[in-house]
Structure 1
Amino acid sequence: MERVDVVVIGGGQSGLASAGALVRQGLTPVVLEASDRPAGSWPHYYDSLTLFSPARYSALPGRPFPGDPDRYPHRDEVVAYLTDCAARLDADVRTGRQVGAVRRAGDGFEVEVAGGELLTARAVVAASGSFGRPHRPDLPGLDAFTGTVLHAADYRDPAALAGRRVIVVGAGNSAVQIAAELHDVARTTLASRNPIRYAPQRVLGRDLHFWLTLTGIDRAPIGRFLRTPPSPPIIDDGRYRAALTRGAPDHRPLFTGIDGAKVTWSDGMREEVDAILLATGYRPDLPYLAGIDGALDPAGLPRHREGRSLVHPGLVFAGLEWQRSLTSNSLRGAGRDAARTARELAALLGRR
């Protein structure tokens, strides 16, 4: 059985940021990434995904994003960037390591990897993200729908839905972006329980993230005060508001029922639909912690304060939505949370 300082579960942006911060604190982390490359969920997002923050605000500590700092990097650029960060990281990054279970072992933890590999660690950083646990809300009649139901996690490009009648459910950035590109090839409606809210991508000639950074809103520790975090607005350069205003796609309140392939709208109109795409977000993907009493609540969500387990010293979380600030689960915020967590673990493990 291998003994290590810290096991970091997940080799995406938060896992790599955590590993780098731990190394700077004199600890020796081992990063376990389930897939064949250390880029987290980024390779699996839809093809057209582009960051809403410029490259200069989308980098991990000490690793500037290459190229024009004011451009908005594409998904594949982020994948290449994270892969390069992992290659340059002075830490043991192991791919193809699916963690099956984490258990308490004395004053530390035992980490079981699929295939039988076992590690013991003094601390564990759960940085496995949420892409593996798409949120599928209980929508009226959805279980009885006879058409195609898919989640944004399953969506790659509009070609597979070309010529079909599609409803995209959601009110976030991905919902609007996917619905707008589907409209070019399919009869598409964006449906949501709540109104669409917008935030301008540029304010007074500067990107929104310039102002968020300047004012400190980007890093304010407000996550601890939020029992129900607000849904972020659509960051828009004007095209998405314009598209929805002209009905391309049209936007309607969520349907009230489904009978077979027919959807009933709030005005009583019924129509046949081919596919419903749920752009309804994700939940933390932490099944390997189920065996640690008190680590998760009954819904499988982490019990924590600013990333620290409420029950188990040495167990911390990284990359949770609103973990500490509005940027905790983003490229631009991962480094700040990681630095804080690393300092705390170093103190706990006696390395400071």
Structure 2
Amino acid sequence: MTVPPRLADVVVIGAGQAGLAAGYYLRRAGVDFVILDAQEAPGGAWRHAWPSLRLFSPAQYSSLPGRMMPAPASGGYPSAADTVAYLTDYEQRYQLPIIRPVTAHAVRRVGERLAVETGARAWHAKVVISTTGTWWRPYVPHYPGMRDFGGEQLHTADYRGPEPFRGKRVVVVGGGNSAAQILAELSHVAQTTWVTLRPPRLLPDEVDGRALFDLATRRHRAALAGQNADGIGDLGDIVAVAPVREARDRGALKAEPMFSAITPDEVVWADGSTAACEVIVWCTGFRPALGHLAPLRLRAPGGVISTDGTRVLAEPRLHLLGYGDWTGPASATLIGAGRTARQMVGEIIAQL
């Protein structure tokens, strides 16, 4: 027996920070909407981050609209657990219509609506907002010999803490914030080697997520006006949160150039030098988790989905939120998702 589809003006796919920000403004606008979340519990990707992970800004600058994140009891910047607690409280406070666990397998065109297929049932919506983020698509580059490596390889998404690597020789790959934070922690218990494609650059100690968001916003506005503006990369690559500063000050953040190959028990550089290795941690980033949109065939040459802000040009009934600057300035951050969601929902109201 076929289960009839449910109808809603807007279906939001994902109840992480971007989905909650969208839900806040949709509810305030009185829109008929539902949020479908694949997770078993609140918190989005933050539920799966390693315990020592720290945000890049104080709590008051890491908040969603309408509800300030409480300052951590321990002081400093909020942890992953602090963020999960905040997001849990947020969705309960605003009684957002979240259904979980429900996985959106596909989005298809059905007449004047988009159908979000979830297996047992489909939702038909006038507008769909995809907020699935990137955590679910970890990226690992290919290097010769990596399949023959006899030790352990893991990605940022798999890392849970330093204890399993105590006393081991660990190579950390990547020049971003995750690599620096994980290296700082591992260097207390393991023999670490840090390798990066280019020399890593720490931001000045006084620069954190507040300044980065303001910079991303200015750059976005300048681009819209056809002007050039300094990018985040002009300042540096890594936010100097407390554990990273501590590792820097004790000399643990010395980086080597990227190796060229991997043997069963070593990494090998182009000049023939080697380093013995039992573990490789790939802190090499993520890709947008957009497989559910494949039936719409939206990717342009080069694999990108062209957007005007959050709205997909090839399918105006679809909006993307929280995937990076291409879907709004700093929209993959808590504060950036909220500010982008406000403008997006205004556009959606006009569409409806």
Q: TM-score, normalised to structure 2's length?
A: 0.89
How far, CA to CA, are the matches of 1:41 and 1:21 in structure 2? 21
How far, CA to CA, are the matches of 1:310 and 1:281 in structure 2? 26
Equivalent residue number for residue 333 of structure 1 = 336
Q: Does 1:130 align with 2:128?
A: no
Higher mean displacement: 246-255 or 308-317: 246-255
Write out aligned runs for 1:1-352 (5 A). Answer: 1-67=5-71, 71-114=76-119, 116-202=120-206, 208-209=208-209, 211=211, 216-220=214-218, 222=220, 233-237=237-241, 240=244, 243-244=247-248, 246-294=250-298, 296-297=299-300, 301-349=304-352
Instruction: Kindly tell me the number of residue pairs found equivalent between the two proteins.
Output: 339
Instruction: Quote the sequence identity (%).
Output: 38
Q: Is the 8 A contact 2:134 2:287 kept in 1?
A: yes
Letter in structure 2 aligned against 1:53: S
C-alpha RMSD of matched pairs (Å): 2.4
Q: 1:324 deviation in Å? A: 5.0
How far, CA to CA, are the matches of 1:212 and 1:186 in structure 2? 32
Letter in structure 2 aligned against 1:72: Y
Is the partner of 2:86 in helix, strand or coil? helix
Q: Is the 8 A contact 2:17 2:87 kept in 1?
A: yes
1:104-137 deviation digits (Å, cap 9, x = unpaired): 11121011113x1111011100000110000111
Relative to structure 1, the CA distance from residue 211 to residue 100 in structure 2 (aligned partners, 3 Å threshold; closer, same or farther) is closer
Long gaps (5+) in structure 2: none
How far, CA to CA, are the matches of 2:201 and 2:64 in structure 1? 29
Long gaps (5+) in structure 1: none
Relative to structure 1, the CA distance from residue 239 to residue 16 in structure 2 (aligned partners, 3 Å threshold; closer, same or farther) is closer
Q: Is the 8 A contact 2:104 2:117 kept in 1?
A: yes
Q: 1:8 deviation in Å? A: 0.4
Letter in structure 2 aligned against 1:86: E
Q: Is the 8 A contact 1:7 1:31 kept in 2?
A: yes
Q: Is the 8 A contact 1:218 1:325 kept in 2?
A: no
Q: 1:265 deviation in Å? A: 2.5
Q: Is the 8 A contact 2:10 2:127 kept in 1?
A: yes
How far, CA to CA, are the matches of 2:93 and 2:337 in structure 1? 17
Q: 1:187 deviation in Å? A: 0.8
Higher mean displacement: 323-332 or 97-106: 323-332
How far, CA to CA, are the matches of 2:219 and 2:20 in structure 1? 22
How far, CA to CA, are the matches of 1:172 and 1:313 in structure 2? 34
Relative to structure 1, the CA distance from residue 128 to residue 212 in structure 2 (aligned partners, 3 Å threshold; closer, same or farther) is closer
How far, CA to CA, are the matches of 1:263 and 1:3 in structure 2? 55
Relative to structure 1, the CA distance from residue 211 to residue 150 in structure 2 (aligned partners, 3 Å threshold; closer, same or farther) is closer
Is the partner of 2:154 in helix, strand or coil? strand
Q: Is the 8 A contact 1:45 1:156 kept in 2?
A: yes
Letter in structure 2 aligned against 1:21: Y
Q: TM-score, normalised to structure 1's length?
A: 0.89
Q: 1:144 deviation in Å? A: 3.2
1:194-242 deviation digits (Å, cap 9, x = unpaired): 1111112426xxxx455567xx43533628679xx86661111576366
